[in-house]
Amino acid sequence: MIKVGVIGGTGYTGIELLRLLSNHPNVEIVAITSRTKAGTAVSDLFPNLRGHVNLQFIKPNLAQLAQECDVVLFATPHGVAMEMVPELIARNTRVIDLSADFRLSDPTVWERWYGHPHTAPNLLTEAVYGLPEINREAIRQAQLIACPGCYPTTVQLGFLPLLEQGLVDPNHLIADAKSGVSGAGRKAAIATLLCEASENFKAYSVSGHRHHPEIVQGLSRISKSAIHLTFVPHLTPMIRGIHATLYAQLQKEIDLQSLYEQRYAKSPFVDVLPPKSHPETRSVRGTNMCRLAIHRPSVEDNTIVILSVTDNLVRGASGQAIQNMNLMFNLKETSGLNDIAIIP
Amino acid sequence: MIKVGVIGGTGYTGIELLRLLSNHPNVEIVAITSRTKAGTAVSDLFPNLRGHVNLQFIKPNLAQLAQECDVVLFATPHGVAMEMVPELIARNTRVIDLSADFRLSDPTVWERWYGHPHTAPNLLTEAVYGLPEINREAIRQAQLIACPGCYPTTVQLGFLPLLEQGLVDPNHLIADAKSGVSGAGRKAAIATLLCEASENFKAYSVSGHRHHPEIVQGLSRISKSAIHLTFVPHLTPMIRGIHATLYAQLQKEIDLQSLYEQRYAKSPFVDVLPPKSHPETRSVRGTNMCRLAIHRPSVEDNTIVILSVTDNLVRGASGQAIQNMNLMFNLKETSGLNDIAIIP
Amino acid sequence: MIKVGVIGGTGYTGIELLRLLSNHPNVEIVAITSRTKAGTAVSDLFPNLRGHVNLQFIKPNLAQLAQECDVVLFATPHGVAMEMVPELIARNTRVIDLSADFRLSDPTVWERWYGHPHTAPNLLTEAVYGLPEINREAIRQAQLIACPGCYPTTVQLGFLPLLEQGLVDPNHLIADAKSGVSGAGRKAAIATLLCEASENFKAYSVSGHRHHPEIVQGLSRISKSAIHLTFVPHLTPMIRGIHATLYAQLQKEIDLQSLYEQRYAKSPFVDVLPPKSHPETRSVRGTNMCRLAIHRPSVEDNTIVILSVTDNLVRGASGQAIQNMNLMFNLKETSGLNDIAIIP
Amino acid sequence: MIKVGVIGGTGYTGIELLRLLSNHPNVEIVAITSRTKAGTAVSDLFPNLRGHVNLQFIKPNLAQLAQECDVVLFATPHGVAMEMVPELIARNTRVIDLSADFRLSDPTVWERWYGHPHTAPNLLTEAVYGLPEINREAIRQAQLIACPGCYPTTVQLGFLPLLEQGLVDPNHLIADAKSGVSGAGRKAAIATLLCEASENFKAYSVSGHRHHPEIVQGLSRISKSAIHLTFVPHLTPMIRGIHATLYAQLQKEIDLQSLYEQRYAKSPFVDVLPPKSHPETRSVRGTNMCRLAIHRPSVEDNTIVILSVTDNLVRGASGQAIQNMNLMFNLKETSGLNDIAIIP
């Protein structure tokens, strides 16, 4: 059994890690930390875990975690992991960080978007970007994984086959993305109250969103060239799910359906739907799957439309972290991730 | 492996059976029928099942089903099972009926509420009412199980310890029940459109609901006396879940918390919450659990309030059917039913 | 034109007052206060008011308000009005308080439920309880109105004709009430996030809710005797609306439908639906109407069921305040309150 | 008073017409027709209209309607108005058609998208396209108005100032549009059940939607040139509202904010928000307003993003019909359309 510690268990990615890890056949959860809830039983805070998780939250103790855990997962707000990861790495404990701290390889870009200097810049080059469909082999060997954000995962998996093959104009990419409200996290705020976010739809951060530089970094690496992306996120009145509608200008005719199916033939968590499909976010709810569909609305025009859906808390966070963990520990990539989306 | 056939796979209880059965470690689904969708791949209709269920819907053939299946589950509208079950029973195939056809033991009551005569009245006495917390031993031996309705399950589990012990006035029971919209099934109708049922709350069928006689029959058996129940169902703007708020007049002082905890100590799918709790429907979403809490708002008054929550499609239908199946085939009662509710 | 000031304009009852007052034909809004938002244009905070309300929030100045306003409305958290009202009353400015400060006539009850002493107890007897269907004449003359809470309004209008006539057992009243989330107000909190309150249903405060003593006080006055009420509030996943399901034991046979229709014949904001109706909360959304239906599920039993629906922010707060204001200033009772509920 | 008849009053645009017309100061509703509900009181079907509309549905009688009405509004499925309008026009009754029948000026395009020939092609040239911001003067004189669709209204108002001035590349326009479920109408269907459409997000009709040719026709007229538009509609889990996110390639630098503000300075139902705004659909719910915001995410790039929101049933249908009617009868353009959006 892999011994797993979770840092920051009271947010939505934390509880989702607990849900998935507690049913994982090869995992033992040895510690779950929270500064604010130390001493509280996990199942008192999250009654869905009654009978499944019999731990209390504890205060984080790095030396003890390093000793007891094979791997430590961070489900913390940005800025926390960078303070704690160096000691864990130094003690040879592997780390999977679900936060933004190690996603951007350039510390000046990090500082510009997050407003303060990066305190562990030397680890940025060591961290492996945990998108298995791109970095599967590097992930197996990694000491430190930077798990991709929810928007970046959904957008990159959609554009990936096109940009790898240089089939579309990299200077005119558009990602119109719609997210459920859980992307904003489990924190007291007016904007995400049911009364504010229900029966309502809006764009936000059109002038700049923190996931933009991460997506640009990822797509540039994939295309091995500079790219330009217009990224417009929207808040949609539901709990879970991201739907990215991607627009690109095709530069070369090719069988796109076959391209996608072949690219993802060995990826258990990418499902290319039949032509003319419209993937629904609910079809991936609670699961680690990304479902894709490729459209070319007008044959007279070279604009193509890719539809990509994920569950932002699973494929966009906790599920992908476990997918990474499975690879790091030579488990089956799908281990513990076989849930079927609940419909309706 | 138990070979299972499902009759009527295109409704919400049908798809839920497929989701649960396809992850059940001891089950092989051998046939799934639908008259209207015969020839269609299950995963074309329900994309969440892509990669999990690789069957096509077929037209029902009783002889073949009897030959191939150890047990046949009916997820059909009322009136269908009563036509098909006799042949299956005659051929020694066990049957679990999720519909209303075999729940009421008196065929005249059935006719009054469903508007046409019962065509298999002789099986009504043979059918075992599939509420395991009452009939666990009879279920193990049964050839034919009549699975309880969603409201009856939630209400009976809430009142059960009180009525068994004769602690409350049986003539003044009130069940104020609130159901998610999926209780109305997957059928084209105006009343359950999102535009009609969202941002709205209402009672319905206050003058008489088909689940009323089933609940009365169950509570009367439990209390071994006539009972009188006022039952008011409401439609609540969400997909899944039933919350029953139960009112009764206590006739004898007793430690109710202990009573409930002891009564359900050996029931893996009834969870008695600590005193002063308020169970949430989402804490059981997608699971077979019923969570209960007992309140006595005023010590000067003998009115007690029991809160009981279930997922209407799992504990109120498909999950409970599998719980029955597990008992019938000497499997662990929880086999295939270990999912944790997804929160948020 | 009546000159109106609003204290505390940034909550849900405040914005609702602005919406209703700005379309009121006899009203001029002269001031809207907020300590935290002073200097901000109202329409910057609430874009729906762009082009309708061209005021900025200002800090409250009682002397100036008393001079400029015919009436001041308080849409503040409890504890605020009791500090400011005495000066306004002393300066002969009339006051309508939407908060809880002047609802309970006994200051010791107030202190028990709100946790600190009442600072203006001498005004408690002067304040008129602003439920027009009971106190219409007193309201016309009042200097200080205590507007009823949302639950108390919905429950009292439902029980009123029965208790006035002594037709039901006053010792066994039950109010099972379901509220939309806006009842919790516009404040940052985890429990009312969309991700917590959507797709979920639960009871809360079953052991005691602050509206309980207010309802008991009101029902006791109506019945001219002590009453006992079991009150169970629930949170339902929608923005607006209260649905109260009321249970009582009939002690005397009477034509209940006629009773209700006659009692409310001259009440423009109580609508008694035809027999066997099920009022929907959406049918009163955004309006000041209370719709009622009377049921007797079983003729063999004396339990009757009253269904009562209101919009908690209009009839339960801001609309009722304006109904009171109309009476106080000899306007038509319905002035400014003619909106039709938006369906769907 | 203008005497108004409504054909087809049982759908969502019909009920919305009744809500708006019954509070219109210059209107008398003289007839409301429905073949299926003839004889039923309007307020029995729509309880929100109790006390506001005291009519029964009647079967349509064109001669009588022509005699009694100054104007007849069609809120019918496509294909109905084209059969009835010619007689009304021949009898000199003015007509406002909310359906698609007279929107496309080329009958061959109509036939291609709606599957059968147009039966009144000679009226297609006479019909005035009822988008007041483009055709205000023609509308005043019109006998027959073809009211724009909901998507076409929202998209055209967003692109209008840019295309009029030839500022963007007309060959690379993208409209990523999100609609509430009420756009699908009030008809029994599985896809728009709460259980299917809630907690879910999906694109639909990416390969071709009936509103596409209407938008293309409109934008081509505005730009006085051929245009190419990629149009992707999505279904969002809410009742009302359209959010169109529009992408275009700027060809000439200009102060876009001023351009929009000046273009719409005299349009009471277009509100250009301050720079960097994100209009919310709820800010226009129940109203005839279209709110717009202009963004240029990256100064290094010429992609601009226009956000445009409307209420699909008001600005996208019934409200715009009344705006047209006001113009036709020399009323104030805003008459009867002053409602403020309800928030929350």
**pLDDT tens-digit series, residues C60-85:** 999 999 999 999 999 999 999 999 99
Q: Do C57 and C40 touch, CB atoms closer than 8 A? A: yes
Question: Residues A120-137: pLDDT tens digits?
Answer: 999 999 999 999 999 999
Q: Strand order of the sheet with strand C303-310?
A: C202-203, C229-235, C173-179, C242-249, C303-310, C290-295, C270-272
User: How near does any CA of chain B get to the CA of A198, in Å?
Assistant: 9
Q: What is the pLDDT, as a whole number, of residue A191?
A: 97
Contacts of C68 (CB under 8 A, 6+ apart): C3, C5, C30, C31
- The partner residue sitting opposite A344, judged by closest CB among B12, B287, B339, is B12
* D45 lies within 8 A of chain B by CB: no
Cβ distance A278 to D204 less than 8 Å, yes or no, reads yes
* D283 lies within 8 A of chain B by CB: no
Please state the length of chain C. 344
Query: Are residue B163 and residue B292 in the same domain, yes or no?
Result: yes
What CATH number has the domain bearing residue D25?
3.40.50.720
Q: What is the pLDDT, as a whole number, of residue A299?
A: 86
Question: Omega into C152 within 30° of 0, i.e. cis?
Answer: no
Residue of C nearest to B172 (CA): C303
Number of structural domains in chain C: 2
Query: Are residue A26 and residue A77 in the same domain, yes or no?
Result: yes
A20: in domain: yes
Cβ distance A305 to D279 less than 8 Å, yes or no, reads no
Cβ distance B188 to D186 less than 8 Å, yes or no, reads no
Q: Is the torsion defined by CA of A163, A166, A168, A171 positive or negative? A: positive
Q: What is the pLDDT, as a whole number, of residue D42?
A: 96
Cβ distance D234 to A228 less than 8 Å, yes or no, reads no
Mean pLDDT for chain D?
97
Q: How far is CA D193 from CA B182, B186, D187, in A?
A: 9, 8, 10
C117: in domain: yes
Query: Are residue A234 and residue A172 in the same domain, yes or no?
Result: yes
Residue of B nearest to C291 (CA): B202
CB pairs under 8 A between A and B: 77
* B192 lies within 8 A of chain C by CB: no
C chain contacts of residue D239, beta-carbon cutoff 8 Å: 344
Nearest to A54 by CA among A25, A18, A24: A18
Number of other CB atoms surrounding residue C59 within 10 Å: 11
Nearest to A308 by CA among A293, A287, A289, A288: A293
Q: Is the torsion defined by CA of C192, C44, D236, A323 positive or negative? A: negative
User: Is the pLDDT reported for residue C9 higher than 90?
Assistant: no
Q: How far is CA D254 from CA A208, B122, D31, D166, D297, in A?
A: 22, 84, 51, 11, 15
User: Rounded CA gap, C320 and A212, in Å?
Assistant: 48
User: How near does any CA of chain B get to the CA of A272, in Å?
Assistant: 11
Query: Are residue A279 and residue A223 in the same domain, yes or no?
Result: yes
User: Is the pLDDT reported for residue A257 higher than 90?
Assistant: yes
C chain contacts of residue A199, beta-carbon cutoff 8 Å: 239
Q: What is the pLDDT, as a whole number, of residue B324?
A: 98
CB pairs under 8 A between A and C: 58
User: Rounded CA gap, C219 and D308, in Å?
Assistant: 50
* B195 lies within 8 A of chain D by CB: yes
Residues of chain C by 3-state class (helix, strand, coil), percent to 5: 35, 20, 45
Q: Do C202 and C234 touch, CB atoms closer than 8 A? A: yes
Number of other CB atoms surrounding residue B67 within 10 Å: 11
Query: Are residue C107 and residue C169 in the same domain, yes or no?
Result: no
Question: Residues D169-212: pLDDT tens digits?
Answer: 999 999 999 999 999 999 999 999 999 999 999 999 999 999 99
What CATH number has the domain bearing residue B181?
3.30.360.10
Cβ distance B278 to C204 less than 8 Å, yes or no, reads yes
B342: in domain: no
Q: How many helices and strands, by DSSP H and E, does chain D display?
A: 11, 13
Cβ distance C193 to A194 less than 8 Å, yes or no, reads yes
Question: Residues D113-158: pLDDT tens digits?
Answer: 999 999 999 999 999 999 999 999 999 999 999 999 999 999 999 9
User: A26 is in which domain, residue-wise?
Assistant: 2-126
Tell me how far the alpha carbon of residue D200 is from its chain's centroid: 25
Query: Are residue B245 and residue B157 in the same domain, yes or no?
Result: yes
Residue to test with chain D: of C192, C198, C309, C340, most D Cβ within 10 A: C340
Question: Residues D209-240: pLDDT tens digits?
Answer: 999 999 999 999 999 999 999 999 999 999 99
Phi, psi at D264, each rounded to 5°: -105, 15
- Listed by number, the residues of chain D in 111-150 with a beta carbon closer than 8 Å to a beta carbon of chain A are none
Question: Residues B226-275: pLDDT tens digits?
Answer: 999 999 999 999 999 999 999 999 999 999 999 999 999 999 999 999 99
- The residue from B69, B147, B150, B290 that is catalytic is B150
* A303 lies within 8 A of chain D by CB: yes
What 8-state DSSP symbol labels residue A11? S
In the residue annotation, D150 being an active-site residue is answered as: yes
Q: What is the dihedral of CA D179, D180, D181, D182, to 10 degrees?
A: -100
A chain contacts of residue D176, beta-carbon cutoff 8 Å: 176, 245, 247
Query: Are residue D305 and residue D160 in the same domain, yes or no?
Result: yes
Contacts of D176 (CB under 8 A, 6+ apart): A176, A245, A247, D232, D234, D244, D245, D246, D247
A chain contacts of residue D172, beta-carbon cutoff 8 Å: 249, 303
A324: in domain: no
Q: Do D183 and D150 touch, CB atoms closer than 8 A? A: yes
C253: left (phi over 0), alpha (psi -120 to 50) or beta: beta
Please state the length of chain A. 344
Written as one letter, the residue type at B142 is: A
Q: What is the pLDDT, as a whole number, of residue A300?
A: 86
Question: Residues A144-166: pLDDT tens digits?
Answer: 999 999 999 999 999 999 999 99
User: How near does any CA of chain D get to the CA of A198, in Å?
Assistant: 7
DSSP letters for B212-233: HHHHHHHHHHHHTS---EEEEE
3-state secondary structure at position D264 = coil
Residue of B nearest to C240 (CA): B199
Radius of gyration of chain A (CA): 20
- Listed by number, the residues of chain B in 262-281 with a beta carbon closer than 8 Å to a beta carbon of chain C are 276, 278-281
DSSP letters for C162-216: HHHTT-B-TTSEEEEEEE-GGGG-SS--STTBHHHHTT--EE--TT--THHHHHH
List of chains touching D (3+ CB pairs within 8 A) = A, B, C
- The partner residue sitting opposite D340, judged by closest CB among C23, C186, C282, is C23
Residue of A nearest to B287 (CA): A48
Summarize the confidence of residues C87-97 as an average pLDDT. 97
User: How near does any CA of chain D get to the CA of A309, in Å?
Assistant: 9
Look at the block and give the residue holding tokens 């056949």. Answer: A25
User: Is the pLDDT reported for residue A54 higher than 90?
Assistant: yes
* C318 lies within 8 A of chain A by CB: no
- The partner residue sitting opposite A193, judged by closest CB among C194, C237, C238, is C194
Q: Do B295 and C174 touch, CB atoms closer than 8 A? A: no
Cβ distance B172 to C228 less than 8 Å, yes or no, reads no
Q: Do D322 and D336 touch, CB atoms closer than 8 A? A: yes
C143: in domain: no
pLDDT grade for B9, boundaries at 50, 70 and 90: confident
Nearest to C181 by CA among B344, B193, A198: A198
D chain contacts of residue A178, beta-carbon cutoff 8 Å: 178, 201, 234, 236
Angle at alpha carbon of residue A27, lines to A26 and A31, rounded to 5°: 170
First to last CA, chain B: 34
Cβ distance A181 to C195 less than 8 Å, yes or no, reads yes
Share of chain C above pLDDT 90, in %: 99
Tell me how far the alpha carbon of residue D114 is from its chain's centroid: 18
Residue to test with chain B: of D12, D15, D195, most B Cβ within 10 A: D195
- The partner residue sitting opposite A182, judged by closest CB among C188, C192, C195, is C195
A138: in domain: no
Cβ distance D181 to B194 less than 8 Å, yes or no, reads yes
* D162 lies within 8 A of chain B by CB: no
D chain contacts of residue A241, beta-carbon cutoff 8 Å: 199-201
B327: in domain: no
Query: Are residue C293 and residue C247 in the same domain, yes or no?
Result: yes
D chain contacts of residue A299, beta-carbon cutoff 8 Å: none
Question: Residues A35-53: pLDDT tens digits?
Answer: 999 999 999 999 999 999 9
Look at the block and give the residue holding tokens 């039913």. Answer: B337
Contacts of D136 (CB under 8 A, 6+ apart): D327
The pair of three-digit structure tokens given for residue D128, joined into one six-digit string: 């005035």
First to last CA, chain D: 34
Query: Are residue C192 and residue C264 in the same domain, yes or no?
Result: yes
Q: Do A311 and A319 touch, CB atoms closer than 8 A? A: yes
* Half-sphere exposure (Cβ direction) of B313: Cα atoms closer than 13 Å: 27
Between strands D229-235 and D202-203, the pairing is: antiparallel
User: Rounded CA gap, B239 and D195, in Å?
Assistant: 5
Look at the block and give the residue holding tokens 């008459």. Answer: D335
pLDDT grade for D299, boundaries at 50, 70 and 90: confident
* C333 lies within 8 A of chain B by CB: no
Q: Do A102 and A109 touch, CB atoms closer than 8 A? A: no
Phi, psi at B37, each rounded to 5°: -115, 15
User: Rounded CA gap, B59 and D257, in Å?
Assistant: 62
- The partner residue sitting opposite D199, judged by closest CB among A231, A239, A300, is A239
C333: in domain: no
Q: Strand order of the sheet with strand B229-235?
A: B202-203, B229-235, B173-179, B242-249, B303-310, B290-295, B270-272
User: How near does any CA of chain C get to the CA of D279, in Å?
Assistant: 8
Residue of C nearest to A239 (CA): C195
User: Is the pLDDT reported for residue C299 higher than 90?
Assistant: no
Tell me how far the alpha carbon of residue C278 is from its chain's centroid: 22
- The partner residue sitting opposite A279, judged by closest CB among D172, D202, D238, is D202
Between strands D229-235 and D128-129, the pairing is: unpaired
Look at the block and give the residue holding tokens 């609305």. Answer: A297
- The partner residue sitting opposite A48, judged by closest CB among B47, B198, B340, is B340
User: Rounded CA gap, C315 and C286, in Å?
Assistant: 9
User: Rounded CA gap, C77 and C184, in Å?
Assistant: 11
3-state secondary structure at position A292 = strand
Contacts of C112 (CB under 8 A, 6+ apart): none
User: Rounded CA gap, A71 and C253, in Å?
Assistant: 72
Nearest to C288 by CA among C269, C263, C302: C269
Query: Are residue D55 and residue D158 in the same domain, yes or no?
Result: no
The pair of three-digit structure tokens given for residue C205, joined into one six-digit string: 């405060």
3-state secondary structure at position A147 = coil
Query: Are residue C230 and residue C91 in the same domain, yes or no?
Result: no
Tell me how far the alpha carbon of residue C332 is from its chain's centroid: 19
Cβ distance C48 to D341 less than 8 Å, yes or no, reads yes
Query: Are residue C78 and residue C186 in the same domain, yes or no?
Result: no
Beta-bridge partner residues of B179: B235, B242
Residue to test with chain D: of B13, B15, B193, B239, most D Cβ within 10 A: B193
Tell me how far the alpha carbon of residue A331 is from its chain's centroid: 20
The pair of three-digit structure tokens given for residue D169, joined into one six-digit string: 């590349």
Q: What is the pLDDT, as a whole number, of residue A307?
A: 98
* C9 lies within 8 A of chain D by CB: no
Q: Do C108 and C92 touch, CB atoms closer than 8 A? A: no
- The residue from A147, A150, A195, A290 that is catalytic is A150
